[in-house]
């Protein structure tokens, strides 16, 4: 809830109060995670005999708490405990600074000076709008003007100047990153681990740093050749632009060439008469299509509902009640889809309220739960709802989807293909929250391992590309004619024409994240040297001296040691889709298998067992073990 308000509320006073609440709640959670009485009671509960025995979900919740205690250094002696607290507080501050740096232009620097002749080929209205001194254009590094020059200037020297200025090595920013990495490594040492990756992976599917590295290196070895072929395609365009004879050696492709010649490649590949896709994807029709898809797969649909007074934070926010054909209303999704001033440009899924069973809560007569800290005022109790087919009363889940779509008030909001994929992706998270309604909110919906949580959302990206799914909603907003299959296929061919280069870039980023977080406590950190060496060994485009791209890699903070998760879940999603839905993406039988064997458990069951159960057969049994062999199988799925 605090994260939602901090990022989406248009009023600064609300944002400031959400920041305060967030800080207080983090402090309170730190108190709980270091409470000896709670820890000892938990250990005693896990060690005791129970009749009936603890359910699988109960044991999963207990183990989640136990790992939280261990990560908070519950057993550390006082002096090491004090250092743990000191490092934890310092890392929170460093993380905020790092994220702020990653999303902002470089620190103030002298304007970039670009001679006028290097701007030839750019639109005249753009070039003429740049300030000049004695025939030299002055451009602020990191500005949108610098980004335009880097991506679209025909003159290679202009692109190089802009690229180096945009990614220049700022000692302060590099220092913040390296301090963060060094302190994470030291914190791992305080906890008795060999690296931060060991700390981060203890409750993940991959389990160990060696398993992650094996997965990533197998992908890199496979994709590097294909990525190099994509680079050769772009290098041939560069040679053609420079007038180099086709029989001659290809010129090197540099970092500032990639975006420019990728644009040229797409333009060359696109038929002159290729119509855009956006007129076939209005927000309304896409949402209707999602409702139809979920109705076919799971018997679940959306019912638009008018919000009550004060229920939403902006007039453009829409409410959808999620209705199961057998159980009735099972949750609420609020859709905050359109851009506005101050709203972050990225897409996100916020779990505002988790599902949990409430009728068996231990409550005192005054309405506060036993052990509730009175400093926090009244509790958040709810009487809950009766869900047909489930015992007891449940607090139903509430989630918010935030995107940054444009909205022309004079016509329906039309979406580009990437935005359609984004909406399907985020709705995958939302449906995981709706279907994964467990008795304990600690394991409901998306509260599962980081390297599993992206699987349901990436799976939705497979559905949206299916012709039978597109037929549910893709129609022209004016004529209502369905999307022509040939038009869609032509666009998808363009989308995938340089896919190997993009995938290899993701692999290299995941490898960089892994290398940074396998540093041993006390080991010297030179983030630029690590990045340069990795690019030279595994990359297909050479690193650029004098730059420090790694300071723009914001996921190094939130996904520290787990950025491999996107690739890992792509592999699992591809396998599950081909296993269940290749023959019929609208199969209710397959949808029920996915719902009952995987989605309904949230984080209350071992994800390896769930994936193995869906895959089935001897391969499924091998995957369910979750060992090194299982990791190898998942890597093989991605290669296929």
Residue 102 scores a pLDDT above 70: yes
- Domain match, 413 and 464 both: yes
194 domain-assigned: no
Q: 3-state SS of 192-219?
A: CCCCHHHHHCCCCCCCCHHHHHHHHHHH
Task: Decide: helix, strand or coil at residue 505.
Answer: helix
- Domain match, 40 and 143 both: no
- Domain match, 20 and 72 both: yes
Cα–Cα dist 344/427, whole Å: 18
264 domain-assigned: no
- Domain match, 318 and 349 both: yes
Mean pLDDT value of segment 329-350: 92
Note the pLDDT of residue 368: 46
- Domain match, 16 and 65 both: yes
The answer to whether the beta carbons of residues 465 and 424 sit under 8 Å apart is: no
Q: What is the mean pLDDT of the chain?
A: 91
Q: Which domain CATH number covers 426?
A: 1.10.1370.40
11 domain-assigned: yes
Mean pLDDT value of segment 462-466: 96
Residue 127 scores a pLDDT above 60: yes
Residue 635, both tokens: 């890597």
- Domain match, 348 and 412 both: yes
Note the pLDDT of residue 143: 85
204 domain-assigned: no
Tokens 């949108």 -> residue: 144
| 244-258, 374-388, 520-534: the lowest-pLDDT one | 374-388
Give the helix ranges, DSSP H, for 465-526.
Answer: 467-470, 485-495, 499-516
Quick one: CA torsion of 81, 86, 89, 94, rounded to 10 degrees? -130
Task: Decide: helix, strand or coil at residue 622.
Answer: helix
Residue 170, both tokens: 């700022």
* Predicted confidence band of residue 366 (pLDDT cuts 50, 70, 90): very low
Catalytic status, residue 40: no
Cα–Cα dist 78/69, whole Å: 15
Query: Long-range contact list for 318-321, CB < 8 A, 24+ apart?
Result: 320/287
Choosing from 419, 426, 461, 609, the catalytic residue is 426
The answer to whether the beta carbons of residues 205 and 538 sit under 8 Å apart is: no
Please, is 199 exposed, middle or buried when counting C-beta atoms within 10 Å of its C-beta (0-12, 13-18, 19+)? buried
* Predicted confidence band of residue 197 (pLDDT cuts 50, 70, 90): very high
- Domain match, 50 and 127 both: no
- Domain match, 315 and 402 both: yes
State which of 76, 103, 130 marks the end of a domain: 103
Residue 531, both tokens: 């990045």
* Predicted confidence band of residue 372 (pLDDT cuts 50, 70, 90): low
Mean pLDDT value of segment 27-40: 88
Share of the chain above pLDDT 70, in %: 96
Residue 380 scores a pLDDT above 70: no
Note the pLDDT of residue 422: 96
For the chain, what is the domain count?
A: 4
Residue whose C-alpha is closest to residue 166's, from 555, 539, 544, 525: 544
- Domain match, 284 and 338 both: yes
383 domain-assigned: yes
The answer to whether the beta carbons of residues 544 and 163 sit under 8 Å apart is: yes
Residue 103 scores a pLDDT above 90: no
Tokens 């309220």 -> residue: 353
* Predicted confidence band of residue 410 (pLDDT cuts 50, 70, 90): low
Task: Decide: helix, strand or coil at residue 307.
Answer: coil
Task: Decide: helix, strand or coil at residue 560.
Answer: coil
Cα–Cα dist 399/333, whole Å: 5
Note the pLDDT of residue 110: 82
Cα–Cα dist 150/155, whole Å: 10
Give the helix ranges, DSSP H, for 395-483.
Answer: 417-435, 450-453, 455-464, 467-470
Task: Decide: helix, strand or coil at residue 113.
Answer: strand
407 domain-assigned: yes
Residue 350, both tokens: 């916020």
* Predicted confidence band of residue 408 (pLDDT cuts 50, 70, 90): low
Residue 107 scores a pLDDT above 80: no
Measured CA to CA in angstroms, residue 12 lies from 23, 402, 446 at distances of 17, 18, 29
Domain that holds residue 572: 565-639
Tokens 């896709």 -> residue: 277
399 domain-assigned: yes
* Predicted confidence band of residue 257 (pLDDT cuts 50, 70, 90): very high
State which of 55, 83, 103 marks the end of a domain: 103
440 domain-assigned: yes
- Domain match, 307 and 449 both: yes
- Domain match, 336 and 414 both: yes
- Domain match, 45 and 127 both: no
């Amino acid at each position: 809830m605090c994260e939602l308000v901090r990022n989406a509320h248009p009023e600064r006073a609300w944002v400031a109060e959400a920041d305060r609440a967030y800080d207080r709640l983090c402090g309170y959670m730190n108190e709980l995670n270091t409470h000896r009485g709670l820890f000892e009671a938990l250990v005693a509960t896990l060690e005791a005999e129970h009749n009936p025995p603890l359910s699988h979900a109960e044991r999963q919740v207990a183990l989640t708490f136990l790992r939280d205690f261990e990560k908070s250094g519950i057993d550390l002696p006082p002096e090491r405990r004090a250092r743990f607290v000191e490092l934890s507080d310092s890392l929170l501050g460093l993380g905020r600074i790092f994220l702020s740096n990653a999303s902002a232009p470089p620190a103030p620097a002298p304007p970039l000076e670009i001679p006028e002749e290097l701007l030839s080929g750019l639109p005249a209205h753009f070039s003429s709008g740049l300030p000049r001194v004695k025939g030299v254009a002055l451009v602020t590094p990191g500005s949108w003007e610098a980004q335009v020059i880097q991506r679209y200037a025909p003159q290679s020297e202009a692109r190089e100047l802009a690229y180096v200025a945009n990614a220049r090595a700022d000692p302060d920013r590099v220092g913040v990153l390296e301090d963060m990495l060094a302190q994470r490594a030291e914190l791992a040492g305080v906890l008795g681990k060999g690296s931060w990756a060991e700390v981060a992976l203890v409750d993940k599917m991959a389990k160990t740093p060696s398993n992650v590295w094996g997965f990533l290196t197998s992908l890199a070895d496979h994709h590097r050749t294909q990525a190099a072929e994509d680079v050769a395609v772009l290098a041939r365009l560069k040679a053609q632009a420079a007038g180099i004879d086709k029989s001659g050696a290809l010129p090197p492709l540099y970092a500032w060439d990639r975006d420019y010649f990728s644009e040229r490649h797409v333009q060359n590949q696109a038929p002159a008469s290729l119509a855009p896709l956006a007129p076939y994807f209005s927000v309304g029709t896409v949402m209707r299509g999602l409702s139809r898809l979920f109705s076919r797969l799971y018997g679940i649909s959306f019912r638009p509902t008018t919000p009550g007074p004060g229920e939403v934070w902006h007039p453009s926010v829409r409410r959808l009640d999620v209705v199961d054909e057998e159980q009735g209303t099972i949750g609420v999704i609020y859709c905050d889809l359109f851009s506005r001033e101050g709203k972050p440009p990225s897409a996100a899924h916020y779990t505002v309220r988790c599902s949990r069973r409430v009728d068996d809560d231990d409550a005192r007569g005054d309405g506060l739960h036993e052990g509730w800290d009175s400093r926090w005022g009244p509790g958040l109790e709810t009487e809950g709802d009766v869900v047909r087919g489930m015992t007891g009363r449940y607090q139903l889940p509430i989630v918010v989807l935030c995107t940054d779509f444009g909205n022309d008030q004079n016509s329906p909001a039309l979406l580009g293909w990437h935005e359609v994929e984004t909406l399907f992706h985020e709705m995958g998270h939302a449906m995981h929250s709706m279907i994964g309604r467990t008795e304990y909110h600690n394991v409901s919906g998306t509260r599962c391992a980081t390297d599993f949580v992206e699987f349901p959302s990436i799976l939705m990206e497979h559905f949206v590309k299916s012709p039978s799914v597109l037929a549910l909603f893709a129609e022209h907003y004016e004529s209502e004619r369905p999307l022509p299959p040939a038009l869609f296929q032509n666009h998808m061919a363009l989308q995938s024409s340089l896919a190997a280069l993009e995938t290899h870039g993701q692999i290299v980023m995941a490898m960089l994240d892994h290398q940074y977080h396998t540093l041993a406590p006390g080991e010297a950190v030179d983030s630029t040297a690590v990045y340069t060496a990795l690019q030279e060994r595994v990359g297909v485009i050479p690193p650029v001296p004098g730059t420090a791209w790694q300071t723009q890699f914001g996921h190094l903070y939130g996904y520290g040691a787990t950025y491999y998760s996107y690739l890992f879940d792509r592999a699992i999603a591809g396998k599950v889709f081909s296993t269940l839905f290749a023959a019929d993406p609208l199969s209710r039988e397959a949808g029920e298998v996915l719902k009952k064997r995987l989605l309904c458990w949230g984080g209350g069951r071992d994800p390896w067992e769930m994936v193995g159960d869906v895959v089935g057969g001897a391969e499924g049994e091998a995957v369910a073990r979750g060992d090194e062999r299982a990791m190898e199988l998942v890597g093989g799925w991605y290669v296929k």
